């Protein structure tokens, strides 16, 4: 668990499960997050196996794909946190083994984005009509992006005198897909009741939508600002997390400095970015699992005693509400009021 010898001896002396559970709750920052990621992966592999072959509707199918994608991201993460180096036999050149915080930070941000997509597209819409609207807008945004790419390719082909007929066919199909999805969205009762909301224009720039009494499009880049009541992370984790992880996902001087520290052997410690990124990845993954249990509570059957204990400790320390349940608006408000006071 990443405890000191004194703490470990104290933990070993505890005689019942309740005392050990309370001890872990009091020391979440001392947990060995590399091992927690392995625990998460073991659970996810059991879940994916249990879902294999089940007949589902279209939306549930793509929700399950998000869970599979979380698993592969964590598998990559678990490989990358093992120190690796390189060796050139021709000139006897050796690269010191390191963990690259820039690569890990990019992966952690991707996990954060996956959490946002899963919750806004698949979990939070609270009736079948809203679920279909959110899913269709998510799809349509991708189709709209593809239309723009094909239009640019056609323009380039025409400029250079190349045949663009196949691209024209592809463009027509893409536009028809976008039009059909928009027609389906506008034919819903929700759209009729919110006729002032521009489902078309907003969808061109943004793929996610919050469908409440006052619908609004949001983007993943604004996850720290626009989803305060949609992402159940406590303020300690939530505030500026996306911005912090973006320092590693994009070229920056800060990322260069952290990379430099790795070669000096001072990067992988409790105070550096390595520990922060690994712990955040584990917290986000457990938050995702909790959300998926709300979406499909049958996966709880795959939880063993150790997983329940670890997930409850991490979730209770860094997320809003209780593991495996959706936070209430009162729980969100109580936490976010502190964020507003501190801002």
Question: Which of 158, 176, 210 lies at the terminal end of a domain, its last residue?
Answer: 210
Q: Based on the fold, state whether residues 77 and 168 are members of the same structural domain.
A: no
Q: Rounded to whole angstroms, how far apart are CA atoms 220 and 293? A: 23
Quick check: is 294 in a domain?
A: yes
Q: Based on the fold, state whether residues 115 and 42 are members of the same structural domain.
A: yes
Q: Based on the fold, state whether residues 190 and 232 are members of the same structural domain.
A: no
Q: Rounded to whole angstroms, how far apart are CA atoms 104 and 73? A: 10
Q: Rounded to whole angstroms, how far apart are CA atoms 115 and 48? A: 17
Please give the residue range of the domain that contains residue 183: 127-210
The per-residue DSSP string of 36-104 comes to HHHHHHHHHHHHHHHHTT----HHHHHHHHHHHHHHHHHHHHHHHTS-EEEEETTTTEEEEEE--HHHH
Quick check: is 239 in a domain?
A: yes
Quick check: is 195 in a domain?
A: yes
Whether the CB-CB separation of 189 and 201 falls below 8 Å is answered with no
Q: Based on the fold, state whether residues 154 and 120 are members of the same structural domain.
A: no
Q: Based on the fold, state whether residues 235 and 96 are members of the same structural domain.
A: yes
Q: Based on the fold, state whether residues 138 and 89 are members of the same structural domain.
A: no
Quick check: is 297 in a domain?
A: yes
Quick check: is 36 in a domain?
A: yes
Question: Which of 210, 239, 263 lies at the terminal end of a domain, its last residue?
Answer: 210
- Residue by residue, pLDDT tens for the chain (343 residues) are 444 555 555 656 666 767 666 665 555 545 789 999 999 999 999 999 999 999 999 999 999 999 999 999 999 999 998 877 666 777 787 777 778 888 899 999 999 999 999 999 999 999 999 999 999 999 999 999 999 999 999 999 999 999 999 999 999 999 999 999 999 999 999 999 999 999 998 888 899 999 999 999 999 888 888 899 999 999 989 988 998 898 877 777 877 887 777 767 665 555 568 888 999 999 999 999 999 999 999 999 999 999 999 999 999 999 999 999 999 999 999 999 987 655 5
Q: Based on the fold, state whether residues 120 and 227 are members of the same structural domain.
A: yes
Quick check: is 215 in a domain?
A: no
Quick check: is 216 in a domain?
A: no
Q: Based on the fold, state whether residues 192 and 239 are members of the same structural domain.
A: no
Question: Which of 183, 210, 237 lies at the terminal end of a domain, its last residue?
Answer: 210
Whether the CB-CB separation of 329 and 40 falls below 8 Å is answered with no
Q: Rounded to whole angstroms, how far apart are CA atoms 44 and 38? A: 10
Q: Based on the fold, state whether residues 204 and 241 are members of the same structural domain.
A: no
Closest CA to 44 of 288, 268, 257: 288
Closest CA to 185 of 174, 173, 168, 198: 198
Q: Based on the fold, state whether residues 91 and 103 are members of the same structural domain.
A: yes
Q: How many domains does the chain have?
A: 3
Quick check: is 218 in a domain?
A: no
Burial of 205 (0-12, 13-18, 19+ CB in 10 A): exposed
Q: Based on the fold, state whether residues 234 and 336 are members of the same structural domain.
A: yes
Q: Based on the fold, state whether residues 140 and 189 are members of the same structural domain.
A: yes
């Amino acid at each position: 668990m990443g405890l000191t010898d004194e703490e470990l001896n104290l933990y070993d002396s505890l005689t019942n499960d309740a005392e050990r559970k309370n001890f872990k709750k009091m020391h979440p920052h001392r947990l060995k997050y590399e091992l927690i990621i392995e625990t998460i992966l073991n659970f996810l592999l059991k879940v994916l196996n249990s879902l294999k072959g089940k007949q589902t509707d279209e939306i549930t199918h793509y929700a399950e794909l998000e869970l599979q994608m979380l698993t592969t991201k964590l598998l990559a993460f678990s490989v990358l946190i093992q120190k690796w180096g390189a060796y050139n036999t021709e000139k006897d050149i050796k690269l010191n083994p390191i963990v690259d915080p820039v690569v890990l930070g990019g992966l952690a941000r991707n996990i954060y984005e996956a959490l946002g997509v899963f919750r806004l597209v698949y979990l939070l819409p609270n009736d079948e009509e809203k679920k279909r609207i959110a899913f269709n807008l998510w799809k349509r945004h991708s189709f709209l992006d593809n239309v723009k790419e094909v239009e640019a390719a056609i323009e380039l082909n025409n400029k250079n005198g190349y045949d663009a007929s196949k691209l024209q066919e592809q463009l027509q199909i893409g536009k028809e897909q976008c039009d059909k999805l928009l027609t389906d969205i506008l034919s819903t009762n929700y759209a009729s009741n919110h006729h002032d909301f521009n489902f078309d224009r907003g969808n061109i720039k943004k793929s996610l939508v919050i469908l409440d009494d006052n619908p609004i499009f949001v983007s993943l880049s604004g996850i720290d600002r626009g989803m305060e009541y949609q992402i159940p992370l406590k303020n300690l984790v939530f505030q500026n997390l996306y911005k912090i992880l973006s320092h590693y996902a994009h070229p920056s001087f800060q990322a260069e400095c952290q990379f430099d520290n790795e070669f000096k052997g001072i990067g992988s410690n409790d105070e550096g970015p390595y520990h922060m990124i690994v712990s955040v990845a584990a917290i986000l993954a457990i938050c995702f699992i909790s959300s998926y249990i709300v979406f499909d509570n049958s996966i709880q059957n795959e939880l063993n005693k150790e997983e329940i204990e670890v997930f409850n400790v991490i979730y209770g320390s860094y997320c809003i509400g209780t593991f495996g349940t959706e936070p209430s608006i009162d729980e969100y408000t109580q936490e976010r009021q502190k964020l507003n006071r501190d801002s």
